Amino acid sequence: MKIALEQDIRKIDHTASKKYHVPSIVLMENSGIALAEEVQKQYHSPKQRIIIVVGMGNNGGDGMVCARHLFNQGKTVIVFLVGNTKKLSPDAALNYEMLKPLDIRMEAINEINGVKKMGKMIWPDDIVVDCLFGIGLKRDVDGVCEFVINEINQSQGYVIACDIPSGINASDGSVMKTAVRADKTVAICLPKVGNIMFPGADYNGELVVKRIGLSDKLIGEMGIPYQTISESDVRRIIPKRQMNSHKGTYGKASLIAGSFGMTGAAILAAKASLRSGIGLLKLVIPESLHTIITTNVPEVVTVPLMETRRGVFGINQVEKLIQNCKGSDVVAIGPGCGQNAEMIEVVRQLITQVDKPLVIDADGLNTLSKNVELLANRVNGIVITPHPGEMSRLTGLTIEAINQHPIDTATEFAVKWQIVVVLKGARTVVALPDGSVYVNLTGNPGMATAGSGDVLTGIITSLIAQGMTLANAAIAGVFLHGYSGDIMAVQRGEHGLIAGDLIEGITQAFNALLKQSI
């Protein structure tokens, strides 16, 4: 599903009016009706009242339409108007006039005393509808509005937000000082970036999307570059297994991983790759790791390289490594490799001399960060899978800045270097060289554990080996990674989840996905 910035919604509204001849007042009517439908679902007793808190913009107008329809259905409705009604937007002002002849109680809030009165009037069984700001908020919430939001949050009523909880920035999900904590959010037309990305996503409660009669054709014309990853998207692009096939059918990869004390990362990435369907995996390792690797992952072909010091292959082995990689369909580097002079040379040669798709993670990224300009001379397609700390080293941005703007950060880097960026997080972002972005919704806090990223590297590498494009492998890989975590969290709980559990979950994720049983 497409996810919109504020500017996208403005463009949709403008196009609907100018090209498709749908007046803005009709869009407001449809929005208010859609909101009323969701409010009605929470209405269980004639004793319930519906408290609608409206601002002076179009979001407030949606609330007034909602109030009119619910009142006409016989519900008890109270409307609190926050602000000066002389400043109502044109469409909201028209709907305000439509409310006046009706026997709806309306209370103006322009000062703190009015806020306190509102707070006292909200009963525990009431439904509270937040129509204060909508998507246009650009500055921190202050004054009376801040107190209004606090009263809504302190109430015991069931809170439904219109479009986005008031106080959340619609275009990045940041909290503008304070925000409504909703039990349900009714996103109008499309979910906004602020509905999807954290911390804003934490304020939605249940998220419901209502299209309000706008056609797929209109939405498709907008060129919106952001969307979520759906199960149908992934099911469509996953390679199908053929009856008449052999291991060569499903590709061959070289995985450069492991060092002294970091053997586990190599094992996790290798097992994940194998469980994701690859035909043959070669694990390139320092020779002292050979026994432990073959004991734990007997299915891999090991390529042990001579060492100059414990757990680190010698610089004279780089040529052998590079030649080995040239025979694979894809190369991955980084999990548990460590950072040393040998790695610097391997990364340089892989990027500039090996014409094979390359997946770079962990210490591969930390090594690349010492000379990011290597990407200007790449001879291959590249997928990088950084967490915010690694992205900070690659870009020079602070971790805080990256966490505040993960989509922008990933997109700028992907477009600049023409690579696929998988920026890991609670909402992993896949940014493509053309500026399009896919946001993953699968996964859970139990996956915040050491080794989880190594598993993702293995999955993506395997999918590329099986013939998927780099973009599709990244998109499908993050979905399957998160979905395997969700499956295992149900079985074992989030608190005890470890990276090895995710590998067990991979096969279950594939089975569920391909059987269309998610």
Domain positions in the chain are: 6-224, 248-514
Buried-exposed string 342-377: b where 16+ CB fall within 10 A, e elsewhere: bbbbbbbbbbeebebbbbbbbbbbbbbbeebebbee
The residues, ordered by sequence, that sit 6+ positions from 372 with a Cβ below 8 Å of its Cβ are 394, 417
Kindly report the CA angle at 237 between 386 and 242, in degrees rounded to 5?
Answer: 120
DSSP letter assigned to residue 204: -
Q: What is the pLDDT of residue 517?
A: 44
Bridge partners, 82 (sequence order): 109
Tell me the three-class secondary structure of 422-482, residue by residue: EECCCCCEEECCCCCEEECCCCCHHHCCCCHHHHHHHHHHHHHHCCCCHHHHHHHHHHHHH
Question: 6-224 and 248-514 share one CATH topology?
Answer: no
| C-alpha–C-alpha distance, residues 467 and 249, integer Å | 9
Report whether 273 belongs to an annotated binding site.
no
| C-alpha–C-alpha distance, residues 302 and 263, integer Å | 13
Q: What is the pLDDT of residue 515?
A: 84
With residues binned 3-state (H G I as helix, E B as strand, rest as coil), the percentages for the chain, rounded to 5, are 50, 15, 35
pTM score = 0.96
Place of tokens 């869009």: 27
| C-alpha–C-alpha distance, residues 308 and 316, integer Å | 9
- For the stretch 468-499, pLDDT in tens is 999 999 999 999 999 999 999 999 999 999 99
Report whether 279 belongs to an annotated binding site.
no
- For the stretch 22-73, pLDDT in tens is 999 999 999 999 999 999 999 999 999 999 999 999 999 999 999 999 999 9
Report whether 130 belongs to an annotated binding site.
yes
The residues, ordered by sequence, that sit 6+ positions from 155 with a Cβ below 8 Å of its Cβ are 119, 122, 126, 128
Bridge partners, 328 (sequence order): none
CB 166 within 8 A of CB 149: yes
- For the stretch 73-82, pLDDT in tens is 999 999 999 9
Q: Give the pLDDT mean for 157-170.
A: 98
Domain boundaries 248-514, CATH class: alpha beta
Place of tokens 């007793």: 45
Report whether 192 belongs to an annotated binding site.
no
| C-alpha–C-alpha distance, residues 438 and 226, integer Å | 6
Report whether 163 belongs to an annotated binding site.
yes
The residues, ordered by sequence, that sit 6+ positions from 195 with a Cβ below 8 Å of its Cβ are 3, 164, 168, 170, 173, 185, 187, 201, 204, 207
Instruction: Give the containing element (helix H, strand E) for 227.
Output: strand 226-228
- Among the listed residues 167, 178, 103, 176, the one whose alpha carbon sits nearest the alpha carbon of residue 130: 167
- For the stretch 416-436, pLDDT in tens is 999 999 999 999 999 999 999
Q: Three-state SS for 58?
A: helix
Report whether 394 belongs to an annotated binding site.
no
Report whether 157 belongs to an annotated binding site.
no
Report whether 140 belongs to an annotated binding site.
yes
Q: What is the pLDDT of residue 101?
A: 96
Report whether 120 belongs to an annotated binding site.
no
- Angle at which helices 90-99 and 58-72 cross, to 10°: 20
CATH topology classification for 6-224: Rossmann fold (3.40.50)
DSSP letter assigned to residue 419: S
Q: Three-state SS for 331?
A: strand
CB 446 within 8 A of CB 481: no
Q: What is the pLDDT of residue 308?
A: 84
User: pLDDT-derived band of residue 446, with 50, 70 and 90 as boundaries?
Assistant: very high
Report whether 8 belongs to an annotated binding site.
no
Report whether 350 belongs to an annotated binding site.
no
Report whether 427 belongs to an annotated binding site.
yes
Decide if pLDDT at 309 tops 50: yes
Report whether 251 belongs to an annotated binding site.
no
Q: Give the pLDDT mean for 201-209.
A: 98
Report whether 378 belongs to an annotated binding site.
no
Report whether 135 belongs to an annotated binding site.
yes
Report whether 369 belongs to an annotated binding site.
no
CB 125 within 8 A of CB 45: yes
Q: Give the pLDDT mean for 217-234.
A: 96
Report whether 425 belongs to an annotated binding site.
yes
Decide if pLDDT at 516 tops 60: no
Decide if pLDDT at 518 tops 70: no
Report whether 453 belongs to an annotated binding site.
yes
Report whether 511 belongs to an annotated binding site.
no
| C-alpha–C-alpha distance, residues 413 and 421, integer Å | 7
- For the stretch 327-365, pLDDT in tens is 999 999 999 999 998 999 999 999 999 999 999 999 999
- For the stretch 500-510, pLDDT in tens is 999 999 999 99
| C-alpha–C-alpha distance, residues 161 and 131, integer Å | 7
Report whether 12 belongs to an annotated binding site.
no
Structure tokens at 372: 């990011």
Instruction: Give the containing element (helix H, strand E) for 284.
Output: strand 280-286
User: pLDDT-derived band of residue 21, with 50, 70 and 90 as boundaries?
Assistant: very high
- For the stretch 238-281, pLDDT in tens is 989 999 999 999 999 999 999 999 999 999 999 999 999 999 99
Report whether 371 belongs to an annotated binding site.
no
